[in-house]
Amino acid sequence: MLKFIKNLNGHSGCEISLFKDENKFFVRKKSSSKEYNLRLKKQFIKQSKYDLKIAKTPKIYGYGYDKDLFFFDMEYVQSIAFCEYINTIKITELVDYIKMLFKSLPINKSIKNQYVNNIFRQKISNLNKIIFNKNTTIKYVFELLNKTDWNGVLQSPSHGDLTLENIMISTDNKLYLIDFLDTFFSSWIIDLAKIFQDLEIKWSFRNIGPDTNRDLRLLIAKETISEMIKSLPDGENILLLIYKILLLNLVRIIPYLKDKKTEIFLYSGIENTINIIKNMEAKNENSYYSMCR
Ligand SMILES: Nc1ncnc2c1ncn2[C@@H]1O[C@H](COP(=O)(O)OP(=O)(O)O)[C@@H](O)[C@H]1O
Ligand SMILES: [Mg+2]
């Protein structure tokens, strides 16, 4: 006998419900509309194919349609979202989870895509067309993005929407990734930019306000992951690219802005990211000149 237990909440509008079938719990994620079916189907395919070491993903049990709405069933993982756990997590434990997350990235599956610059340019140009009334900040952002060389963005399998809300920590201390998303370019570097949207800009916490304990932990997480990125070959450049992708991601939110409060939060995040990029570039230039001397 299939028994409905409770609804789980997300952001996409999908219906996420916990069921019990005989003695087994499972989660059903169902599309909110026919138009959303394709997106959820792509998520389901991405999640089914996901097979990386360390971080796990809930096992898929099946899929189907309920009155024309696509759904899929998956393993129920007893867990807490990283964005909730981070308020109280022990610092040593936090550093361990961040290292675990970093080691889960499919860096060794990276390949160069010769069209990456074209793909990014197209994305930026489309975005430029749909943002009207650009202020000086946004004009500057487009200049910066247009002159960026995106060749360092390696192609690899990816999650697609790696926010702290979509990373779960299970009761047996494992990392689970949920809520995959099909994206314009698949790369672990873009996944890191999404994590920085929470670690640096605190996007997932925008409606909650500051919290000293949480903000300290976000800072430690950011520093830990930044150091790991810098230790990679071409790491300094990858970190700079991550901040530029973060800037692109933030500007992509502009067309969806609905209220003044979010707009102020977003613009402050954009200014903040521009300053970080400027500082990083100035530092790189200084070290270049000191090398030439
Ligand atoms: N397999 C699962 N096991 C346990 N909880 C889950 C599972 N899938 C989703 N959830 C819970 O439901 C919430 C929303 O799921 P998610 O897939 O991220 O939806 P949305 O696309 O709406 O953001 C998650 O934050 C988590 O708390
Ligand atoms: Mg989600």
CA of 9 relative to ligand 1 center, distance in Å? 7
Instruction: Quote the pLDDT of residue 51.
Output: 81
Q: Tokens for 272? A: 């903040």
Look up the CATH superfamily of 80-292: Aminoglycoside phosphotransferase (APH), C-terminal lobe (3.90.1200.10)
Which residue's CA lies nearest to atom 10 of ligand 1?
8
Q: What is the 3-state secondary structure (H, E, C) of the chain?
A: CEEEEEEECCCCCCEEEEEEECCEEEEEEECCCHHHHHHHHHHHHHHHHCCCCCCECCCEEEEEEECCEEEEEEECCCEEEHHHHCCCCCHHHHHHHHHHHHHHCCHHHCECCCCHHHHHHHHHHHHHHHCCCCCHHHHHHHHHHHCCCHHHCCECCCCCCCCHHHEEEECCCCEEECCCCCCCCCCHHHHHHHHHHHHCCCHHHCCCCCCHHHHHHHHHHHHHHHHHHHCCCCHHHHHHHHHHHHHHHHHHHHHHCCCHHHHHHHHHHHHHHHHHHHHHHHHHHHHHHHHHC
Spans of all domains in the chain: 2-76, 80-292
Going 91 to 94 to 100 to 102, the CA torsion angle's sign is negative
pLDDT of residue 293: 64
pLDDT digits (tens, 9 = 90+) for 232-250: 999 999 999 999 999 999 9
Q: Taking the model in full, what pTM does it have?
A: 0.95
Residue to mutate (ligand 1; options 6, 11, 16, 74; most atoms within 8 A of CB):
16
Give the chain's residues under pLDDT 70.
Answer: 288, 291-293
Q: What's residue 50's pLDDT?
A: 85
Whether ligand 1 lies within 6 angstroms of the CB of 79 is answered as yes
Distance CA 212, CA 164 (A): 18
Ligand 1 contacts CB of residue 81 (under 6 A): yes
Which atom of ligand 1 approaches the CA of 58 most closely?
Answer: 1
Rounded Cα distance between 20 and 4, Å, is 6
- Residue with the smallest CA separation from ligand 1 atom 11 is 8
- The confidence score (pLDDT) of residue 222 equals 98
Q: Is 250 in the pocket of ligand 1 (CB under 6 A)?
A: no
Question: Looking at the domain covering 2-76, what would its CATH class be?
Answer: alpha beta
Ligand 1 atom with the shortest distance to the CA of 16: 12
* pLDDT value of position 6: 94
Token code pair at residue 32: 């909110």
Residue 164: which of 115, 121, 129, 214 has the closest Cα?
214
Whole-number Å distance, alpha carbon 161 to ligand 2 midpoint, is 8
Q: What is the pLDDT of residue 288?
A: 67
Kindly state if the Cβ of 110 falls inside 6 Å of ligand 1. no
19 lines ligand 1 (CB under 6 A): no
